[in-house]
Each structure stands twice: as structure tokens, then as C-alpha cells.
Amino acid sequence: MIGLEGALYPWRFRLVLALLALMAGAIAWRIVDLHVIDHDFLQAHGDARSVRHIPIPAHRGLITDRNGEPLAVSTPVTTLWANGKELAKAPERWNDLAAALGQEPKAFAKRLQQNAEREFMYLVRGLTPEQGQHVLDLKVPGVYGLEEFRRFYPAGEVTAHVIGFTDVDDRGREGMELAFDEWLAGVPGKRQVLKDRRGRLIKDVQVTQNAKAGKSLALSIDLRLQYLAHRELRNALLENEAKAGSLVMVDVKTGEILAMVNQPTYNPNNRRSLEPAAMRNRAMIDVFEPGSTVKPLSMTAALQSGRWKPSDVVEVWPGSLRIGRYTIRDVSRTEGRELDLTGILINSSNVGMSKIAFDIGGEAIFDTMSKLGFGRDTGLGFPGERVGNLPNHPKWRQAETATLSYGYGLSVTAVQLAHAYAALANHGKMLPLSMTRVDSKPEGAQVLPEDVAKTMQGMLQQVIEAPRGVFRAQVPGYHVAGKSGTARKATVGSKGYTENAYRSLFAGFAPARNPRIALVVVIDEPSKAGYFGGLVSAPVFSKVMSGALRLMNITPDNLPPVDPAAAMPQTADAGVSNGGRI
């Protein structure tokens, strides 16, 4: 029949043959094309089923203090992972694997069963290379290892709030680790390997891209001063049964932050039982009313106005001042009915400071505080840093003017307060703050007249050294300057102040004649022996400043005079004691 039909319709037969020939030719051409001309296509698809690129972890950059002491280092660790499908075929090895990993067998087996269909699951991360190799030596089917890096912090809780920490994937999550994450992170590399269809490694072919290590970061922190500040602040909290505390130390000549500590703190190397409150860098994040520590700034505004000079006197008797519905009171009894400007600071007179503020106006005080950095970002770029609040009223009423002058109605951080005192100590020149080491002295801005700043330095020296001064802040061998403060704590979520809740403060600098270090101490809710700044925070200032001046080899400027007679060698006595021979 076929032959007959072909004879009857020859064109149809020839068409079928032609189509078959074309198909055969197309197939032949495609075979030649793939194997001879375009052979990269098959190779690419074959490689896609066998050649893999696995990442090479990058070594995170080293963080050091200003002297090169390591504060954050990366150590190699092993991460173990498993192919659930492969591991599910060897249940008899699960107990051995659980024992090697230190996990409870039943819970481990349940986890493996839940992930039996997955081709990737983490078993454990961050093992030491020795621990990881011990598990891999068991040769459990489906268990593999990855090389990673884990961050270690040699100073532990002492630098925790400054350095911060990284997460399990080695990304910065707090502190300088987060602020400089891109700088520190580095770039991962790539390694080309051959794997079979089960994902098992057959051959390590080559490194296609080398890992690029992160850059190192040298901080402005001096680890010696950081340990000193940490110890003294911790001891002060224990002695005064306080809730929390902060301390900030600034280099007056460079703007570098030499120490920054907070209590309570935490160990970044072991965060299993970490409480969120302990993670807060209170020096940067907590804002508070600074109380009497801003009276020197208000007094600076008065001197700058030209309407007041240090010898001018203000009547402060009877220690209270009525303003409408409000009454301003002095906490302590003053020396007399009248006080000069230095006496107002020594006695911390709210009445005297308010009367001066009424004369110069709230705008003048606001302008001075604004120039000294209140209500503005410090420029440090620290994660979560707050700027506080410096109110500027269209019309300054007496109550608002008075409260601003003696440290209420505004909020600052400990860093901002230290920055302001550093500018005062630097003869009115404000330098930008820095958390990284400064190798060349930065250009600053002259925010206060130099003569006014120097006058205020002398007045603050008397606040410490005068008979009624804050003697607990004195440092043997050095002239120091500063001001204590005590501020009531505002109620959270409502207006008013919490009863019997205070912050004790001290801010100052030394040596007074050529200032090098500015230091601020804040202690939150001391409850044992008292709460005044001169009683609680001033001793911390004295101890930390004393140690810092000596560690930095700063020449003493308040040594007692040497008695020439006592300094002369007793040659005659020496001759007698040696049988008359000299």
C-alpha cells in the first residue's frame, strides 16, 4: 500500500524525505556547533553542575587604642553545617554527633528530623579549629565545615560601650564596630571547587579572588586611662550604692576622647545573660539636666556681655527669690549678704546666678551655651548618640531665664558637657571631638573671647581651692579647676521630678594654669551617704585626674617650695661618720 501511495503521490513522498533530511541535517549541525564551534555552552552547563564558588571569609580589621594596644581582634573559628538529606540516611551516627557537639541527644535528633529535607542547616557556629576538626574527624555523612572569623575583645567590659560588638555573621552591631563597619569589614574572596551531584567536595581547583582584609582602626582611647576610669567609677557606685554612672575624659589640646566608661557594663565576649540596660553607652545616650555645672557657662555669658566683672557683687540674702508662683532657693547658707561672682560659684548660689541672668537676659546665656555645643550633635557619628535639648524662647520670661542659668530646663549628655568644659579650658577655642587617634592638631573655632575664658579658668580654680571650695576634688601636686552639680531627676512620662532621686555631677579640668585634660563625672541616684556632687562625684574626679596626669607625664604645677637648707648636703656629718675621712 505504501509503495502504491508513493507511486500515486510522488511529491508527497519526496516531501517527507526532504523533511527527514532537513531534521537530520539540523541535528548534525547542532552537534557540530556545540562540540566544535560553540563548545563553551556545554562546558558552562557542565560546570554549573560540578564547579562551585565558595566564599573565603575576610579578616576583620584590628581595633587598637591610641598606643597600639588591641581592643578588638578576629580569631579563626570553624562553623559546622549539615546536609539534612544525607544526614537522615545515617541515624545510627546521630548520638555520636550529638555527644561531640555537647548537645542533648533527643533534642538533637528531633532537630535533625525536622530538617531532614533541607540541604543546608547549621549545626554549630564559632567552634575553635581544634573542636571543629574533632567533630569532622568522626566522618559523619553529611557533616561539613566552614572557616569563619569570630571577634574577641581583650579588654572585655572595660571598653564594651566604646567598641561595641559584632553579630554571628561578623557584622558590626554596636559602638565603633557599627560606626566603622565598612572600614573594618573587608571584602570576602572566592575559591573555585568541584562538587558532585550530592554537593560533596571533589577537588579544590583554585582561588579566583583573594580575600581582602579590613582596615585597622586606631582609637583615641588610652587603655591605661580607660582601666583607671573604669575602676574608680565602679568603686564609686559600690560605695554610694548608686544606680548607674558615666565618665568622659577629653584631651583639651586635640579634642580626642581619652576615656569613656559607663556603669553598669557587660562582657562583649559572653553575651548569653546580657541585660539590655547594661548595653547603653550612657555618656552618649542618656540626657539629663546638668544643674550647677552650667553656672560657669552662664557666668561666662555675663563676663562676655561687658556688664559684669569678677569683683562685682550681688545681694543673695535671705537665700531665696520669689518669681511669680516660683521661689528660687539656695541649697546651702552663703558667706554673707553679698557675694562677688567667684563667691556665687563657690557657694553655688542659685539666687545670685538668677539675678545676673535677669540682667544679661536669657538670650545671652542661650547663645553662649549654643556656641559651646549644647543642643547640637557632637559630630562623633556614634550610633544612637543624642543631642539633648537647649530651649530658645521667643520671649524669655524670668522663670525660664533663671532656670536655664543654673542648669534646669535644658538637657545634655556627659560628652557634650565635657566638650564645653574642654573649650573653656582651651582658652575659648572649641576643637572637634574625635573617637579616633588624631595625628595632627585640628583647627578649632574661637567660640569665646580668650580673656574671658582665662578669667573663668581662674575663678573655677578658686571654686576648688578656696576655703569653702570643693576640697574633695583637689589633686595633690596640681592646681585644678571645676564645678560640682546636683540635679533632681525628671519623672519619666509626666511632668515634675522624682522624689529623692538625684544625679551627682562634677566637671573640671587640669592643670588649671595650662589645662590638658577635661573630665566629667555623672553618678545616677546615689543613695548611701548623700547625693551632692561635691560629696559623691568630686572624689572620683580627684582620683581619676590624679592618675591621668601622672600617666600622661604632665608636669605638676602646685608643688610645695623646697627648703634650701634642707636640700644642702650634710658633708660635715658625713665626714664624722666615716672616721673623719671625706
pLDDT digits (tens, 9 = 90+) for 406-427: 999 999 999 999 999 999 999 9
Q: Which of 192-206, 491-505, 509-523, 526-540 has the lowest mean pLDDT?
A: 192-206
Confidence category of residue 237, pLDDT binned at 50, 70, 90: very high
Q: Of 174, 176, 182, whose CA–CA distance to 435 is shortest?
A: 176
Q: What is the pLDDT of residue 580?
A: 34
Q: How many CA atoms lie within 13 A of 333 on its CB side?
A: 2
CATH class, 223-269+280-551 region = alpha beta
Per-residue CA distances from 428 to 62, 447, 510 (Å): 36, 6, 15
Q: Give the strand pairing for 429-430 and 445-446.
A: antiparallel
pLDDT at 207: 66
Question: Measured at the alpha carbon of residue 324, what is the angle toward residues 321 and 330, in degrees to the nearest 5?
Answer: 20
The residue ranges of DSSP E strands in 83-197, in sequence order, are 121-127, 143-152, 189-195
Lowest mean pLDDT among 216-230, 510-524, 531-545, 549-563: 549-563
How far is Cα 535 from Cα 533, in angstroms, rounded to an integer?
5
Whether residue 569 is predicted with pLDDT greater than 60 in this model: the reply is: no
Per-residue pLDDT at 209: 72
Q: What is the DSSP letter of 532?
A: -
The CA distance from 549 to 86, in Å, is 65
pLDDT tier for residue 203 given thresholds of 50, 70 and 90:
low
Annotated active-site residue 292? The verdict is yes
| CA atoms of 188 and 441, how far apart (whole Å) | 36
Give the C-alpha separation, 386 to 416, whole Å: 10
CATH topology of domain 53-218: Penicillin-binding protein 2a (Domain 2) (3.90.1310)
Q: Residue 510: its pLDDT value, please? A: 97
Assigned C-alpha cell, 174: 554596636
The residues, ordered by sequence, that sit 6+ positions from 561 with a Cβ below 8 Å of its Cβ are: none
Q: What are residue 257's DSSP bridge partners?
A: 250
Query: Is the pLDDT score of 1 beyond 60?
Result: no
Region 14-23: what's the mean pLDDT?
Answer: 84
Measured CA to CA, the distance from residue 341 to residue 347 in angstroms comes to 10
Q: Which three cell numbers stand for residue 211?
A: 580575600
pLDDT value at residue 358: 97
The residues facing 478 across adjacent strands are 475
Lowest mean pLDDT among 241-250, 366-375, 554-563: 554-563
Name 508's bridge partners: 482, 519
Determine the residue type at 60: R
Burial class (CB in 10 A: 0-12, 13-18, 19+), 318: exposed
Q: Write out the DSSP string of 273-302.
A: T--GGGG--HHHH--B--GGGGHHHHHHHH
Q: What is the pLDDT of residue 196?
A: 60
Query: Which region among 43-47, 137-141, 251-255, 431-435 has the lowest average model confidence (pLDDT)?
Result: 43-47
Mean pLDDT computed over every residue of the chain: 88
At residue 460's C-alpha, the angle toward residues 459 and 465, to 5°, is 95
pLDDT in tens, 245-304: 999 999 999 999 999 999 999 999 998 888 888 999 999 999 999 999 999 999 999 999
| Alpha carbons 56 and 58: distance in angstroms, whole number | 6
User: How is the chain split into domains, by residue range?
Assistant: 53-218, 223-269+280-551
Confidence of residue 29 (pLDDT cuts 50, 70, 90): confident
Q: What is the pLDDT of residue 570?
A: 53
The enclosing H or E element of 293 equals none
* Longest CA span, the chain: 155
Triad 545, 551, 557: Cα angle to 5°? 60
Rounded to whole angstroms, the Cα distance separating 122 from 83 reads 9
Q: How far is CA 230 from CA 143, 403, 468, 549, 552, in A?
A: 45, 33, 30, 16, 17
Residue type, 260: M
Mean pLDDT of 305-321: 95
Mean pLDDT of 470-498: 91
The residue-averaged pLDDT of 537-555 equals 97
Helix (H, G, I), strand (E, B) or coil at 484: strand
How confident is residue 574, by pLDDT bands cut at 50, 70 and 90?
A: very low
| Phi and psi angles of residue 286, each rounded to the nearest 5 degrees, phi first | -75, 125
Q: Which residues contact residue 270 at a Cβ distance below 8 angstroms, ignoring those fewer than 6 apart?
A: none
Catalytic residue among 74, 220, 292, 349: 292
| DSSP codes of every residue in 415-479 | HHHHHHHHHHHTTTEEPPPBSB--SSPPP-EE-S-HHHHHHHHHHHHHHHHSTTS-GGG-BTTB-
Q: What pLDDT score does 492 carry?
A: 74
What is the DSSP secondary structure assignment for residue 187, as one 8-state letter? B
Q: Which residues pair with 203 in a beta bridge?
A: 194
Identify the pLDDT of residue 579. Answer: 38
Q: Which amino acid is it at 249? A: M
Residue 34 banded pLDDT, cuts 50, 70, 90: low
Reduced to 3 states (helix: H, G, I; strand: E, B; else coil), residue 412 is strand
- Alpha helical stretches, state H, 306-379: 341-347, 350-360, 362-371
Q: Is the pLDDT of residue 581 over 50?
A: no
Regarding pTM above 0.85, the answer is no
Q: What is the pLDDT of residues 155-172, one digit of tens each?
A: 999 999 999 999 988 899
pLDDT category at 147 given cuts 50, 70, 90 is confident
Q: Give yes or no for a contact between 339 and 313, defined as CB atoms under 8 angstroms apart.
A: yes
Is residue 50 predicted with pLDDT exceeding 90? no
CA 474/CA 460 separation, integer angstroms? 12
Give the pLDDT score at 272. Answer: 83
